[in-house]
Amino acid sequence: MSDTFLNLGLGFQTALSLENLMFCMFGVTLGTFVGVLPGIGALATISMCLPLTFYLDPVSAIIMLAGIFYGAQYGSSTASILLNLPGSAPAAVTCLDGYPMAQQGRSGVALFLTTIASFIGGSFSIMLMIVFAPMLASVAISFSSAEYFSIMVLALVAASTLSNGSFLKGVTMTAVGILLGLVGTDISSGTARFTFGSVTLSDGISLVALAMGLFGISEILTNLSRGNYTAIDPRSITLRSLIPTRADMRRFWPSSGRGTLIGSVVGILPGTGPTIATFMSYAAEKRIAKDSSIFGKGAIEGVAAPESANNSSVQAAFIPTLTLGIPGDAIMAVMLGALMLHGITPGPQLIINQPELFWGVIASFWIGNLFLLVLNIPMIGLWVRLLTVPYHILYPAMLFFICIGVYSVNNSSFDVLIALIFGVLGYGMMKFGFSPAPLLLGFVLGPLLEEHFRRALLLSRGDLTVFVMRPVSLLFLALTLLVLLLSMRWFRTLPRRFGRKALQRNE
Amino acid sequence: MQQRMRPNLSELVACAANAVFGLTALVIALGYELGSVRRMGPGFFPVAVCVTVMALAVATAIESLGAPVERSSTAWRPLLFISLAVIVWTQLIDSLGLVPSTVALIVISSLAKPPFRPVSMLLLSTGICIAGYLIFISGLRMPLTLFGR
Amino acid sequence: MKLITMTRRAAAASLLAMTGAAIAPAAVAQEDFPTKPVRILVPFGPGGLADITMRLAAEKFREILGQQFVVENHPGAGGVAAANELLKAEPDGHTLIVMSNGTTIATSLFETLGYDPQEQFAPISTLAWFDLGFFVNPESDYEELTDVVSYAQENPGMLNIGTINPGSTQNLSAEYFVAVTGIDANIITYRTSPDILAALIRGEIDLVFESPTAFASAMESGQAKILATTGSQRNPSLPDVPTAEQAGVEGYQVEGWNALWTLAGTPEPVIETLHEAIVEVANMPEIQERFAELNTRAQPLTPEEMAERFEADRAQWAQVIEDAGIETR
């Protein structure tokens, strides 16, 4: 243990050099900027910067790339809160309450809390990483297809409770989302499904197009049809209006804490960690709240928990990448590639052979998070001013950024048309009380759900009991059942009715 | 309370749309190989999801029978001009380049919210084209041109 | 490190300039080609082996030819998106496309690919070559490749082979292996190589077909054991590992490559200029070294050799697809 702290000190020494701090700041700034723009994500930016890192030493390189990654995460929250433009599935959860807060003129508070929530989530996860990294990594890897299938079922059912309307409508949207996610080439057989012979569709529907359509374009349509969007009066932006009140903070801390916990537990799962963690933490907040009707209307809890969960899970996602050399997603894979270009092979040997690098990287994560805090809090006032732009100027500009952002992902104008279709669809859905968030999660998890379902059965040679025979899988399925039952009105009133009957009998 | 008794027509239409969506997908999905439980084909899972979507559509329809009717009107004007603006942009971006497509996008989308403001629109188009050039072409190296291919 | 002396803003600006398009070319070209920035269309997303090697090479092309070489990612099934982009361009050598052995598979795998590389495109040269490795869990009893084969022969239907996506080189190499050895095995597909590594560590699969690049750290840290490679000769970074043929699997050979092609009808001298540039880049010690770190080999081919290689690979994979009974799309 003391060794760990000695090494960590070494790490901070490495990371705190002036040069590294500069790269960290550059990465965070660039990341925030591309994160705010719809479309261009961290992945594309990191790939573009990859050749630059050949001229840097490995610690600087990874510090800069990680900075871009954090910055982009934070930037996409900003765009979600201010304009309802989520660049990724986790950011869509931030939209749910962050955007209503902005509409109520509380965008400054929302951004402020997001910054703090991210910092808390990130810091906690880093500490977890310092102490338990190798152990957590082996837990993460022991998850087989059966466990993945079950945790995804849980996430999907939990997400169906996200919307304020009926639970059934939420489940319907999840199922529709799963179906939309299946469009494209089937990962297990290579068959093209629901593509209508279109080669473009054989890679599936673009996630960015779907999210920008369902959230961004549909919101523009809704605002225009209501005609009651009012820009914020610049005079109302005072320092005080940007800072959360004491009552806000009282609601913030417990939510942020719960989000952090969920995030750091779920986040170690390679791949889907952050998405599942954000949706689950939101659903959990809603479930335990005394009055769940405040959600979706600008609840502090609805911003604090998922933001903390997102950042802590993002951080935890580095655990398998660094300790086992098994990256969870494409971004992690590129980071790994960056290290390998420098002749460094992440894996169990990394901590032993190159402690200054391993701990330097971990220290730099924390510094990156700190930088986000320092750089962004003064920026909040500027961001909020974006909303003082009159709507007749704001919405054509937003439309342009949505179009070019969606286009930029695959350089495809077809994707932009897809975004439009989902924009119109999303507008219709909102009118009938169908929420887009569960659809988005279904879309993201649907293909994975199928993949793991099929693979689990392939591995168990067709034995369906595999899902209940493995304890972890069984636990997730049991939790799913509990969430399902709690969503039924008759079940929630059950104890009360039983209580009354028992009372009557006693009399 | 009289509203309660009347079926909520627009809700039913939405449920019917879901059901039709599920049915269409089901018809397509039945064309894929179903396979066995041990080695599932590409059709198994989609068929299961389609059936679920349809069942849920029916369930939501039943649920909506008891719900109160909410009236809201559809704004056709924004729907039309926003759609048109995006469609025109996608048709022009690859052939004519960033500037013409973006100007078209802004002009057409501005029609969605009267009054029409020529001056602010011109300024906005100029500003966005410059920002678009600086960010996407110059900064992010996207394969776009200002005018033409 | 020169950057330390700069101010933060200057450092950021110079970094941005390096990522962004430097508007003025570094040097004015002497010849007629290239007269403007050259686009390299990569039919894969950013970050993959083909993408990284091309970005490395693009820097060097710029130094040699005095124009920007801009790498554009146009990912899409079978490279169709990138191919369509190329078909829109003029045959003047200012637009290049990355072809790979994956394209030779795609021509047989897709019923209507929408383009015919052998007709519509012109070869310039290969750039990077790579082979695949046969990997097993180090805790398993398999010592040699033939051990795996005999296990599969004794226990039909029990051997699980893991590869990435159906139709990938790795996946078809596994199909090819099953066909050549005549064993009965389950080929289980995963989304990414890390997923496969995790599955191998869990003991979910017995044998993995993957590039030594993807499994480099796994090998070093003892998470995966390599039994053989698929190439015609031993992998230079793995001199102790036999090829499949040396390990006793007769007639089994798979080699992958990434190459640059352009539109058919491009003038001969332009292709010649580009070819010479690739030869020069491939022979640079720095490139050789970087590529070796990625477990690939930088090696050019003449345009004629390239065309022959493409046809040979196409014929081989067409046979594998037919033998394995893989449905064309």
pLDDT in tens, A338-390: 777 776 767 666 767 777 777 777 887 888 888 888 888 888 888 888 888 88
- Using CB atoms, pick whichever of A22, A347, A412 lies closest to residue C223: A347
Q: According to the model, what pLDDT value does residue C274 have?
A: 94
State how far residue A292 is from chain B, nearest Cα, in angstroms. 20
Confidence of residue C261 (pLDDT cuts 50, 70, 90): very high
- Using CB atoms, pick whichever of A19, A22, A51 lies closest to residue C55: A51
From chain A, the residues in CB contact with B10 under 8 A are: 432
Question: Where do the DSSP E strands lie in chain C?
Answer: 38-42, 69-73, 95-100, 121-131, 133-136, 159-164, 185-190, 207-210, 225-229, 255-263, 297-298
From chain A, the residues in CB contact with B11 under 8 A are: 432
From chain A, the residues in CB contact with B109 under 8 A are: 395-396, 399
pLDDT tens, residue by residue, B19-77: 999 999 999 999 998 888 888 888 999 999 999 999 999 998 888 777 666 666 777 88
- Using CB atoms, pick whichever of B141, B143, B149 lies closest to residue C20: B141
The HSE-up count of residue A331 (CA atoms within 13 Å, CB side) is 24
CA atoms of A205 and A216, how far apart (whole Å): 17
The angle at the Cα of B62, spanning B57 to B65, to the nearest 5 degrees, equals 125
Instruction: Answer with the residue of higher pLDDT: C146 or B115.
Output: C146
Is the CA virtual torsion C41, C44, C47, C49 positive or negative? negative
Percent of chain A with pLDDT over 90: 24
Give buried/exposed letters for C219-233 (b at 16+ CB in 10 A, else e). Answer: bbbebbbbbbbbbee
Q: Pick from A425, A58, A475: which is nearest to A218 by CA?
A: A425
How many CB atoms neighbour CB B95 within 10 A? 12
**Chain C residue closest to B42 (CA)?**
C327
Q: Rounded to the nearest 10 degrees, how much is the dihedral formed by the CA atoms of A191, A193, A195, A200?
A: -50
Mean pLDDT of C121-128: 94
Query: CB contact, 8 Å: B82 with chain A?
Result: yes
Q: Is C182 left (phi over 0), alpha (psi -120 to 50) or beta?
A: left
What the block records as the tokens of A259 is 């989000």
- Eight-state DSSP code of residue B35: B
Domain boundaries, chain B: 2-64, 76-139
Instruction: Answer with the residue of higher pLDDT: A316 or C174.
Output: C174
How many CB atoms neighbour CB C305 within 10 A? 13
- Using CB atoms, pick whichever of C11, C51, C218 lies closest to residue A47: C51
The angle at the Cα of A126, spanning A125 to A130, to the nearest 5 degrees, equals 120
Give buried/exposed letters for A167-205 (b at 16+ CB in 10 A, else e). Answer: bbbbbbbbbbbbbbbbbbbbbbbbbbbbbeeebbbbbbb
Q: Do A174 and A156 meet the contact criterion of CB atoms below 8 Å apart?
A: yes
Asked if A343's CB is within 8 angstroms of C293's CB, the reply is yes
CA distances from A39 to A35, A405, C177 (A): 8, 4, 41
The angle at the Cα of C309, spanning C306 to C312, to the nearest 5 degrees, equals 155
Looking at every residue in chain A, the average pLDDT score rounds to: 84
pLDDT tens, residue by residue, A440-455: 989 988 988 999 999 9
State how far residue B106 is from chain C, nearest Cα, in angstroms. 26
At the fourth CATH level, which superfamily is domain C133-229? Periplasmic binding protein-like II (3.40.190.10)
> Going by C-beta distance under 8 Å and a sequence separation of 6 or more, which residues neighbour residue A479?
A154
Query: CB contact, 8 Å: A40 with chain B?
Result: yes
In sequence order, the β-bridge partners of residue C186 are: C160
How many CB atoms neighbour CB B28 within 10 A? 16
Q: Do A257 and A115 meet the contact criterion of CB atoms below 8 Å apart?
A: no
Q: According to the model, what pLDDT value does residue B2 have?
A: 40
Asked if B143's CB is within 8 angstroms of C70's CB, the reply is yes
State how far residue A196 is from chain B, nearest Cα, in angstroms. 10
Polymer length in residues for chain A: 507
Confidence of residue C30 (pLDDT cuts 50, 70, 90): very low
From chain A, the residues in CB contact with C74 under 8 A are: 410-411
CA atoms of C270 and A239, how far apart (whole Å): 63
The angle at the Cα of A414, spanning A409 to A417, to the nearest 5 degrees, equals 105
pLDDT exceeds cutoff 50 at C42: yes
CA atoms of A263 and A123, how far apart (whole Å): 12
Asked if A462's CB is within 8 angstroms of B37's CB, the reply is yes
Question: Where do the DSSP E strands lie in chain B?
Answer: none
pLDDT exceeds cutoff 70 at A16: yes
Phi, psi of C135 (to 5 degrees): -115, 145
Q: Do C316 and C309 meet the contact criterion of CB atoms below 8 Å apart?
A: no
State how far residue C216 is from chain A, nearest Cα, in angstroms. 7
3-state SS class at A193: strand
From chain A, the residues in CB contact with C186 under 8 A are: 458
Q: Do C135 and C196 meet the contact criterion of CB atoms below 8 Å apart?
A: no
Q: According to the model, what pLDDT value does residue A241 have?
A: 77
How many CB atoms neighbour CB A31 within 10 A? 30
Asked if C188's CB is within 8 angstroms of A330's CB, the reply is no
Query: CB contact, 8 Å: A428 with chain B?
Result: yes
pLDDT tens, residue by residue, C279-322: 999 999 999 988 887 888 899 999 999 999 999 999 989 988 88
CA atoms of C112 and C110, how far apart (whole Å): 5
pLDDT tens, residue by residue, A26-38: 898 888 888 888 7
CA atoms of C162 and C218, how far apart (whole Å): 15
For an interface test with C, the pick among B134, B138, B144, B149 (most C C-beta atoms closer than 10 Å) comes out as: B138
What global pTM score does this model have? Answer: 0.81
CA atoms of C39 and A217, how far apart (whole Å): 33
From chain B, the residues in CB contact with A454 under 8 A are: 40, 44-45
- Eight-state DSSP code of residue C47: T
3-state SS class at A299: coil
CA atoms of C120 and A111, how far apart (whole Å): 53
Looking at every residue in chain C, the average pLDDT score rounds to: 84
- Using CB atoms, pick whichever of A166, A392, A408 lies closest to residue B113: A392
- C33-130+255-323: what fold? D-Maltodextrin-Binding Protein; domain 2 (3.40.190)
Confidence of residue A231 (pLDDT cuts 50, 70, 90): confident
Q: According to the model, what pLDDT value does residue A409 have?
A: 81
CA atoms of B10 and A10, how far apart (whole Å): 65
Mean pLDDT of A478-501: 74
How many CB atoms neighbour CB C240 within 10 A? 7
pLDDT tens, residue by residue, A171-218: 999 999 999 999 988 877 778 899 887 777 878 898 889 999 999 999
pLDDT tens, residue by residue, A285-320: 988 888 888 888 889 999 999 999 998 888 887 777
Mean pLDDT of A270-283: 83
pLDDT exceeds cutoff 90 at A408: no
CA atoms of A385 and A377, how far apart (whole Å): 14
CA atoms of C171 and A189, how far apart (whole Å): 11
> Going by C-beta distance under 8 Å and a sequence separation of 6 or more, which residues neighbour residue B101?
B88, B89, B92, B93
In sequence order, the β-bridge partners of residue B35 are: B40
Asked if C72's CB is within 8 angstroms of B138's CB, the reply is no
Is the omega angle on the peptide bond into residue B115 within 30 degrees of 0, that is, cis?
Answer: yes
3-state SS class at C1: coil
Q: What single string gives the DSSP state of each residue in C162-179?
A: EEESTTSHHHHHHHHHHH
In sequence order, the β-bridge partners of residue C223 are: none
Is the CA virtual torsion B104, B105, B110, B111 positive or negative? positive
How many CB atoms neighbour CB C275 within 10 A? 19
Percent of chain A with pLDDT over 70: 91
pLDDT exceeds cutoff 50 at B82: yes
Query: CB contact, 8 Å: A335 with chain B?
Result: no
Query: CB contact, 8 Å: B6 with chain A?
Result: no
CA atoms of A233 and A465, how far apart (whole Å): 61
CA A373 to chain centre: 19
- Eight-state DSSP code of residue C72: E
How many CB atoms neighbour CB C312 within 10 A? 11
In sequence order, the β-bridge partners of residue A127 are: none
Q: According to the model, what pLDDT value does residue A36 have?
A: 86
Q: Which of residues 219-258 of C touch A (CB under 8 A)?
A: 220-223
Domain housing A89: 2-387+395-506
3-state SS class at A228: coil
Asked if C72's CB is within 8 angstroms of B149's CB, the reply is no
For an interface test with C, the pick among A25, A33, A47 (most C C-beta atoms closer than 10 Å) comes out as: A47
Asked if A400's CB is within 8 angstroms of B132's CB, the reply is yes
CA C236 to chain centre: 17
Kindly report which listed range (A4-8, A299-303, C61-65, C240-244) carries the lowest average pLDDT score.
Answer: A4-8
pLDDT exceeds cutoff 70 at A262: yes
Polymer length in residues for chain C: 329
CA atoms of B19 and A46, how far apart (whole Å): 43
